[in-house]
Amino acid sequence: MANKTSKRLQHLDRKSSQPSQPLTSRFTNQPDIDPAASWAAFVAGMLFLVLLVMALAVVMGTGSIRSDLEARSEQALRIAGFQEISADADGFDVSLKGQYREGQDIESGVQAVAALTGVASVDASAVWEIEAPTAVETTVIGTPVVVAWAGDTVTVSGTISTEEQSSFLESSLAALGADEGEATRFGVIDLAGVEVLEGLAPEDEWIGTVVALVGTLAAGLDEGSVTVNTAGEVVTTSGKAETRQAKRDLDDASGDLVVALAADGFDVTDGVLGPPKPPAPSKAEVEELDRTLSELIAGKVVEFEFASDQLTPVGIALLDELLVPLVEFSAVPVEIAGHADSQGTPERNLELSRRRAQAVLDYFVSQGEDPERFVAVGYGDTRPIADNSTEEGRQKNRRIEFIALEG
């Protein structure tokens, strides 16, 4: 027992005889942590990230600036007329590449790019000139332009293929007072049938003449049209005059215009019609009208001012009475015969009798009668019906007679 105890004590003595190891010797391979050093490392890492982001932004921004500069440069080139030249930006320097047509001023394109904000220099060494294509003349053939009117409506149709036709259309509407809302009978303009083509030819001097023709016809016709075909140099009119006198008036008013258009090389086709000629009257109608006129004028005188062809109110009142049977028998032609007494020279009497007969005809026409049914004749003092040596006889000889004629 004592022996076991002695061995245990010896063992303890051997352990206790070994030098003791400090507690810190367990961490001799791990350095102590320095707080200041750790903070510096963190800051350095964050700065690196910031610089990396900034570098990426610069790279991306540079690409955006380059694209914008190239786009603006090419836009400037297109505006200057250069469609086949591209732009390449390197920083603020722009290089041009492509071709331009013979006759174009490439310097104008270079200057247009150089004037852009942000451009430092422009290099056009990679741009070359090519020959201009051979011009090929083309003729646009469209339907003729038609300006038509009916009642209060103006209708325009056709293809505007020349500047001439365009000007003709605008001026015609202005002449009709239909474009500015002026106080005319035309209140509606229908342009749905008009097509306007590009590449119009220059205008000519004939436009004003045709426009005047439109205005003249529109003033005399309730319905009508004017067609202009510049390809064949043809002007065609259409419409229907209410009376033959209205037709004559239109012909007189438009005569000089037609002559002017012919001088400009245009063929004018008159499609304006007058009323049809009435059928020939029967013998009974002629006799009835002649009898009625004689009865109405018996014992009466178509009175004029002294030595004049001016009708007096009394003379006009008698003519109004005569108009009743004249309208009823409108197909019967009538001779209006003027007579004079023997006072004065035969030449003067003949001229005065003619003028008085014409004055009666003009009055009938002013009341709507067709002038073609009348013939005005002056006989002077050659057909007396009474004695010119007396005042009573001379008064009877100064007269207007109405004679119904067979057709």
pLDDT tens series, the chain, 407 aa? 444 444 443 443 444 444 444 434 444 444 555 666 666 666 666 777 666 656 544 444 455 778 888 888 888 887 777 878 989 888 889 999 888 877 788 898 899 899 888 889 999 988 878 765 433 333 333 456 677 777 666 676 766 656 666 666 667 666 666 444 343 455 555 555 555 554 444 445 566 777 777 778 877 888 888 887 766 577 888 888 887 778 888 888 888 888 888 888 888 888 888 877 778 899 999 999 999 999 999 989 899 988 899 999 999 999 999 999 999 998 999 999 999 999 989 999 999 999 999 999 999 999 988 888 999 999 999 999 999 999 999 988 999 999 999 86
- How many Cβ atoms from other residues are within 10 Å of residue 206's Cβ? 20
Architecture of domain 145-273: 3-Layer(aba) Sandwich (3.40)
CATH 3.30.1340, the chain: domain bounds: 59-130
- Residue 163 gets the label, from left (phi > 0), alpha (psi -120 to 50) or beta, of alpha
CA–CA separation, 336 and 342 (whole Å): 20
Sequence-separated (6 or more) residues with CB below 8 Å from residue 60: none
Listed in sequence order, the DSSP H helices in 80-197 are 106-114, 163-175
β-pair partners for 378: 338
Q: What is the pTM of this model?
A: 0.43
CATH no. of 59-130: 3.30.1340
The CA-based dihedral angle spanning residues 175, 179, 180, 184, taken in that order and rounded to the nearest 10 degrees = 60
Q: Where in the chain is the domain with CATH 3.40.1520.20?
A: 145-273
> Helix, strand or coil for residue 359?
helix
The top-level CATH class assigned to 283-404 is alpha beta
CATH 3.30.1330.60 residue ranges in the chain? Answer: 283-404
The number of angstroms, rounded, from the C-alpha of 136 to the middle of its chain's C-alpha atoms is 28
**Rounded distance between C-alpha atoms, residue 159 and residue 188, angstroms:** 20
Sign, Cα dihedral of 224, 228, 232, 233: positive
Q: Rounded distance, CA 270 to CA 272, Å?
A: 6
CB atoms within 10 A of CB 207: 20
